[in-house]
Structure 1
Amino acid sequence: MTTIFSKLLRHLYALRAWLFLLLLLSIATLLSSLLSTFVSFTSQAMLFVLVVTIAAYQLDRLQSIIGAVASVLLLNFFFVPPTWTFHVEQSEHLIALGTMLVVALVINQLTTRLKQETVLAHLNEQRARQLQELAISLTITETTAAIQQLGQAAFERAFQGRTCLILADQNLSLDKRTDLSRQQIDGLRCCMKEMQFLGAGSLRWGDLNDWYVPLGSAGQVRGAVLIQTVRPNDEDGQEHAKALCSLLTQAFERLQLNLYLQTAQNEAQKQQLQSIFLSAISHDLRTPLAVMVGAASALQSQGAKLSADQQDKLLESIVNEGNYLTNVTENTLQLVRLTHAENSLRRDWESIEEIVGAVLARIKQGNNESRIQATLAKDLPLLRLDPVLIAQLLSNLVDDALKYSDELVELDVAVQHKAHPAFLQVAIKDRGPGIPDAEHDSIFVAYSRLAQHDQSNQRSAGLGLAVCRAIAKAHDGNLMVQNRDQGGSCFVLTLPIPELPAFKPELTITNP
């Protein structure tokens, strides 16, 4: 039914064109008749030349040629003496009619060529725009399936939907395709195997009506594209198909390069962590071990000769170095775990008030409770957290604030509603020596130490802040530092506030 309707439309369009040509010839003949007593034969011929020009622009080649010949015949029949015959008595009229026919045919040829070049220029413009749009779309694709989908859509748009894009890893599934013939399946496989353009107009399989365009570069087969029912002499179409395949190949290579780059970055990060851990063993772990071994050896070999105060000092140094060693080891292992296993967090709905309370209770055991002022806003929301990690983060920050400051340390917790979306903010403020602006980022790098801290009596392995920021990042938050106006530092932890799950009341069973 659709085929019959299409044929009918084509016949109606052709009939409309012939009627239009008949109308033009009729108008020219009528005007020439009305003006025959006022104008010369040359002016009458110009009316028919105008008809030929209009027909050349509006109709196809055959119709415009017939219009040119018909114009000469009508001019001869109605207006060249003797009228109402095709006989020409005067040589001037014969030359004029012959010249008119030549001019009409030249106009027709030039107009036809101009129309073809216009259509071709418009088609090239569309193809250039399509290549540009496809290149832009491919820059943001991240999967092979997305590239294949964009490529399939591009070929369907460029060649009226008679296309099929197959990737190399889909070769085995070709036999299951019911929309392709056995010849087309063999052509796709041969194209991928030989990585050559096959089909109509080519040196290989040139008698076919389809194109088989390879997708990939030398030594790397990505797939092939089948373009059905094409014109063998359409060289511009071949070049456009090859350009589309080139863009798709570049997109596949970009994905592969990104994968190689990500693998290299992961390997470099792994090597860096191993170097950091070896550095910790060679310095931050070896030094306290040496102190502990020395103090224990002194107690073992000369315990009887040492006074009680000397023995207490040696035991205290063993305890201090052991605590320091434990802290360095825990922070190092925590940093490694957070870097390689971010998804292993044990998150649950937690109250930040309880976590802060647990941190303050631990600090209270060290007789530092009087130096901490905690301010928590009312109605703080629940957060999805790993309570152990968040408690470790806050403990590290508070311990550092107490270590490097002799004055009051403030801990403020509030919700920032002005931001969109709103977030929870925990600020820990001290009146210590402060941190230079140039080092606000470097202090969060593992094993980095500030110059003023190295000159102080406080010892640090440079791991605590790195672990704190890693914990914040693992919770989709952030940790930054700011300088206070009157001196000191303010560490700000921001955590997202997730939406609470919908409440689902449990079914209650009543006893009969």
Structure 2
Amino acid sequence: MIYKYLTDKRKIGFKLLLMSLFILLASVVGIVFKKMGFPETNIVIVYLLTVLVYARLVDGIAIGIVASILATLAFNYFFTVPYLSLSVLDSSYVITFVIMTVTSIITSTMTSLVKKSELIAREKEAESNTLFKLTNQLTDAYDIEVIASIVVDALTDRFSTNAAILCFDEDGTPENAYVQRNKAGDQVCRNVKEKKEIKRKIENLHESYYEGDEFHDWPIYGRESILGIVRIPLEEAQKMDEIQNRLLHSMIESTALAMDRIRVSNQRIREREEAIQERYRGTLLRSISHDLRTPLAGIMGTSEMLLDMTEAIDQRYILIDNIYNDAKWLHALVENILCLTRLQEGKLVLKKQLEVVEEIVGSAVERFLLRAKGREVIVEVPEEAFSVPMDAKLIEQVLLNLLDNAHKFTSIDSEISIAVGILKTSRIALFTVKDSGSGISTLDLPHVLDQFYTGKNENSSSKSGMGLGLSICDAIIRAHDGTITIENRKDSNGLEVTFSLPLEEQIND
């Protein structure tokens, strides 16, 4: 409209002035018609047409009603007896005035409503076109930065302002810079100040946007976290009406969907790469392990034969004994690697059956003492024998790994113990392995069950392993529907490892 850039007061004054000019023009045309001998009905139609045209040009139903009443008064003033007066001598004119006024009001109102509907339809069409264009562009976007660039251009063009976008990383932290289009039409990166403050305000936001010193910030919410914020300069944001706000929210939703799509795609790519790497690693470990088993078995057998053939006082005995012990260590490591690959590939099938706990513990301790000569192990089991459903070979492997781990991190004269008990209320069997070493640092403790994690311990031997023993124990125990916990001892120095196995109903109380 002509007056769309004027202030509200100027708009009202302009509308009244335009109304007066239209009524005056209609009156002049009516006077011409009267001198030409046209009937009064033609003059009435001129006034109706004037009201209709005026209502088409201006906004608002009220102003149209005022124009209708003013047109009726003008007709009465100029074209009814007595002329140039608002008095009415002929009562029949009253009906004419009423009909004229009602007709003018209805015509003006309908015109205003049609015009408003047309305006709403145009706005919805523009909104749909904007969203359609934005969605098409976002569909082809292959990166978060590209999405930000597209949306900044779309916002700037639609709202005629220097819009900006600040993206968040996958941890929900604002990035160091945000993208904004300047007055020259170029996109520039501006440094972000007070990232922590922005994150705090957005996370604690209770409204649709946050009002800052320079921008209004609208959050872009993803399915799991905040993806970023849309920034509209303060002055332009304060002038936005309801329709513009609705369009902005729709554009933000489209942006969130596009960003989520990129995040999910990137996550799938990472997971696929990790799966490929894990498969390659498992294949490599399995291949190496199988290749090492045969020569290790030969080394162990040959060195054991040489030990039997050599006197203990012979200097060569110690050399052969070291070869034998190193071969046993490597053989145990290979077995752990093979066990790990079977667990990861789901090829390790449990053969659970009721096993006497005392026999399993005794067998594990016996195998351990063959490896750690000169070491003593304190064993505590209930006097009454009881059985637990388990895969005996795997649980024995768990106990052996725990004992080996305790042996590596404690001196030869330090205490190692195994204790077995029953929690009848929870119907579980508890196995606890304790040592008297230096324990594990608080930094390493949360990671000791991770694969290939090896903490630093000054008491450990040079053959501290690859960080597989405890992770294998954890996988085996979880396969038995049990749990395993590792913590430093509270009663003395050392480490305490406890794992649980569920009992069957047949256990005698």
What TM-score, normalized to structure 1? 0.43
> Which structure is higher in helix share?
1
